[in-house]
Structure 1
Amino acid sequence: MKTARARMIFDCLRKAVQAEGAGLTDGQLLRRYFAHRDEAAFAVLVRRHGPMVLAVCRRLLRRVEDAEDAFQAAFVVLARKGVRIAERQTIGGWLHGVAYHVALDVRRRGARRQTKEQQVEDMPHPLVMPTKDQSELLAVLDREMARLPEKYRLPVVLCELEGRSRKEAARQLDLAEGTLSSRLATARKMLAKRMAGHGAAVTGASLTALFASEAGAVCVPGPLVAATVRAAGGVVSAGVIALAEGVLKAMLLTKIKGAALVLLLAASVGVGTVSLTYRTVAAEPQAKADAPRPTARAVSPEKDDLEALRLEVEALRVSLRATRERVKVLEAKVDRTLPQKKTETEREIEHKLNTPVTLNFTDAPLKQIIDDLRGWENVNIYVDQLALDQEGVSLESPVSVKLENVSLKSALNLILKQVHLTYIIKDTVLQITSESAAR
């Protein structure tokens, strides 16, 4: 009887959370998650976009286990990098691209395992041979959709893959319904043209039918939703972590290389502009001085041009060397900035931080409270004294707190907030440090 009552209460709470999240945009849910680590908000995102993400993974991967690992990894990437897209109204297009590339990575790894004696060509997209099989056509569609400009990809993801009405999609994208319909039609034409390049003769209308046959056909199992929400919080298998880190690293390297190319082009344009100005200004007095001597006028500009070209080439070489060094430095930081797999000790610390505690201190020194916490929960706490000194915070700073039956994590946040400090879990210990040092 008690079990049935507990289930009833749980179902009511779950429905209430879903109902509350239903009225929020993706960006609002993301901001709630990152501000408060609100797992309920993240669960709404998983349920909202899960069918589309799982469908992408299943189309590229044969094994159910591989598809579910890729599904979890896509949302782990969202939990790690989603703060950068939290201002968007909808994240469906972004998630489609992440899911596609995660599933593609799983597919490549499987190919390498199966054919160790044969080197597998590492292409940015899989060369899927078109067949009459619907899943293969959809896999090719996923590939081409990932290459569409975002303003055309988003309407397709929302209307075709997630089954939203044009009115709802237009509202989420902050577009007039007519504008959305126009972009959707353009996207269909672009996709049909690209599909034709793979030997698949499809029209805009047949694409709609193909999408319609897939929309809503995938249901994400409840246990997979729960496991994905836990994975976002750090409780995740090594395989899923490896997939997520691979995509995160690829995203970062793409950004680094893009920035390097922009820098090199900017340097090239800058040097070219300077050399052109130099040649123009230098040629004017030379032309005036040599007007009576046409022979000299023909020789001098040629020498000027060669010298300017030499200087331009040398400047580009210097700029290229500097850019390469910068890229090396940034690439060296990649492994240090990517999230690492948590150790057993770090997981134990996180478990202890969820333990409920009752605290009652009035103007107690911060050091006393830290010592008491060490003893109560047997947590290995390290105080970053250098960071505290830089912030001008003393362990003798008075702190007042009165809390009953709250998690140690919440209590610690409230205590440290009073003295503008925070904590991180690093090198198997809980470190109390300044907010700037933690960043």
Structure 2
Amino acid sequence: MRNRSVPAALSFAAAAVLALTAAAVPAAATPPAAGGPAAGTAASPGAHCPQLSGKLHWYGDNRARLQRTIDERGRCRTPHPGPEGRPVAAFDWDNTVVKNDTTDATLAWALKHDKILRPASWSRTSKWLTPAADRALTEACGTSVPAGRPLRTSTNTRCTDEIFEIRAEAKTMSGRAAFAGAWNHRRTVPQYAWVPQLFAGRTPAQLTGYAKQARDEALAAPVGSKQTVGTHTIPGYIRYYPQQKDLIQTLRRAGFNVYIVSAGAEPVTDAWAGGVGVDSAHTIAIRSVLRHGRITTGTEGCGDTPAGQGEAIPYIDGKRCWINQDIYGVKGAAAWHRQRPAHRIALGGGDANTDVTFVGDATGAHLVLNRNQDEVMCRAYDDADGRWVINPMFIEPLPRRSTAYPCSTSGYTNPDGSLGPVLRQDGSVVPDQSDHVHGG
């Protein structure tokens, strides 16, 4: 895939300038993030900064709070901003910038159009695939199609079902575990890494083409519509959120470098991100290792984790690693750790536990769309630094969660997959939180 070893947004030298330009916070602003830009010096008024649309609905005072971050951190806040130190905003993609899942839509389209090539061995598609999953896929998809040729998934419902069930539930259709073994549960999840591995033998351009055709169908489908994949029923439509598109475009006009950081396959995210003005150079997602220009089952690594079979993808702590590595040029093991404020994003947006680490790293605003996921909502409702911005989903928002988030006991996923309490930066335990920002 693309070589991004050179930082795309700012060097460490330029970051020093950002540390100075980001230091001023208006007296009326919410408290700065712990360890974040120092308060005490009033920033220039935001009169020079682009404004978020007043015609698009945000929950409560969320628009004003996001605008405050733009006014505080944007290069627009002075008439003649310097050439260096552009602030950074980063967003998850699926269910954050768009409603519904673009990876599922692409895989569904590919299965309906016979675009998956039969592997010589299913067990080699993922280092964690279980013998039970290997047998289920081999029996369902058969061996009559030569290896390297397209499986007839458009007509073979059993094959389609096994592939999609493993992607969606990490189980076979008979309920057996599809993945087993050891992996860091804050750096990867095998069924996410498995999607680009399924497209081994295709080129990135081909996969982007499939994603574009799936995109066109999903955007044309009515809101609320469903589609059938094998015997699975999934959402049939996807929509760009107008509020997020406006936020991204306003940030860019205000001088921010805006990135998408997704746990989907990079060629798929590339197909969609242009719709909000984000180009491929600002898109970070799962990157396949290529051989002769074609996708393999290998994936690129991050920090001190080398290329492998999906050990380090943009997932929970992996999103922090990829941001630190690709945007700020942090190398080796340090890329997994929280950086100084000058080397962190100003605004982060997400919707799920997969986003909690990088969204929490933001020094200006942590935007979360409420999908009732434990760790991210524990941190959002705890609001330790006063900068968490919670919004219901803009389309088909979830109702109020009936039980409290179990922050004090099981809201946090440990690297070994076990659950534990959610801890603040100072080590104190986040108490259980009730859900009060919802759709009804």
TM-score under structure 2 length normalisation: 0.22
Higher helix proportion: 1
Higher strand proportion: 2
TM-score under structure 1 length normalisation: 0.22
Higher relative contact order (CA 8 A, sep 6+): 2
Bigger Rg, which one: 1
